[in-house]
Amino acid sequence: MKNIKDLDSDEDIRFLRRREPFKFMLWLGIFGMALMFFILTFIYSTRRDDADWVNFPLPLAFWYSTIAIVLSSLTLHFANSAIEEEKFLRYRWLISSTFTLGLVFGLLQWQGWADLQRVGIFLNGSPSGAFLYLISGLHLAHLLGGMLFLGYALIEALRYRQYLDSFIYSVNPPNQLRLKLITRYWHFVDILWIYLFCFFLFQHT
């Protein structure tokens, strides 16, 4: 893949000047989300000694969803490698797999909530259950936001099937930046869920 630092056209120079705000906004958003979830989990942990605290095991679906989101980060990582190596068919398969695994994660989260309700854990019940619904639901909302951009990347990948079209798309600086930003955001959402899952696991053991 062509390095954007080697580009010298006027359009590319203008792009280089514009790309920094996008990266800054992403890191600022990531920092804000990380801070929000840290505060929520901190409040969650302080409520553990309350009289109305109910301890319950995490649903099995949450374990499976964790596997799904970790796999999705791996497929997205290899998708980046594939497009850099101009292996565009592999890239299409990997970006499709990432999107599919994101859907699987969402469905498994929904299944996990249904399993919790079957054992009597509801949103308007104990603080332990209410916070788990709130925190996991907010995380899923952020993941769905990432899936909108991932879905756009998938549509673009399926749109340019010819080698020459795929190559031109892959060396276009805005497209390179878009994929990098999507990848960073997706990895962050992945790491965030691992943190939340381990936190929930610790709180309910």
Query: Rounded to an integer, what distance in angstroms lies between the CA atom of residue 13 and that of residue 59?
Result: 51
- Write down the pLDDT at residue 39: 96
Domain 4-47+58-203 -> CATH class: mainly alpha
In the three-class reduction of DSSP (H, G, I as helix; E, B as strand; rest coil), residue 69 is classed as helix
Residue 18 has a pLDDT of 55
Helix (H, G, I), strand (E, B), or coil: what is residue 154? helix
Going residue by residue through the chain (205 aa), what tens digit of pLDDT does each one get? 444 444 445 555 554 555 668 788 899 999 999 999 999 999 998 887 777 788 889 999 999 999 999 999 999 999 999 999 999 999 999 999 999 999 999 999 999 999 999 998 988 878 888 899 999 999 999 999 999 999 999 999 999 888 888 888 888 888 888 899 999 999 999 999 999 999 999 887 6
pLDDT given for residue 173 in this prediction = 83
The per-residue pLDDT for 163 is 86
Terminal Cα-to-Cα distance of the chain (whole angstroms): 48
pLDDT, residue 161, reads 83
86: left (phi over 0), alpha (psi -120 to 50) or beta: left
Report residue 61: phi and psi, to 5°.
-60, -30
**Alpha helices for the chain (secondary structure H):** 10-46, 60-84, 88-118, 127-159, 163-171, 173-203
Are the beta carbons of 41 and 196 closer than 8 angstroms?
yes
Q: How many C-beta atoms surround the C-beta of residue 181 within 10 A?
A: 16
pLDDT at residue 10, as a whole number? 54
Q: What is the pLDDT of residue 127?
A: 83
**SS3 for 49?**
coil
Q: Among 54, 75, 187, which residue's Cα sits nearest to residue 133?
A: 54
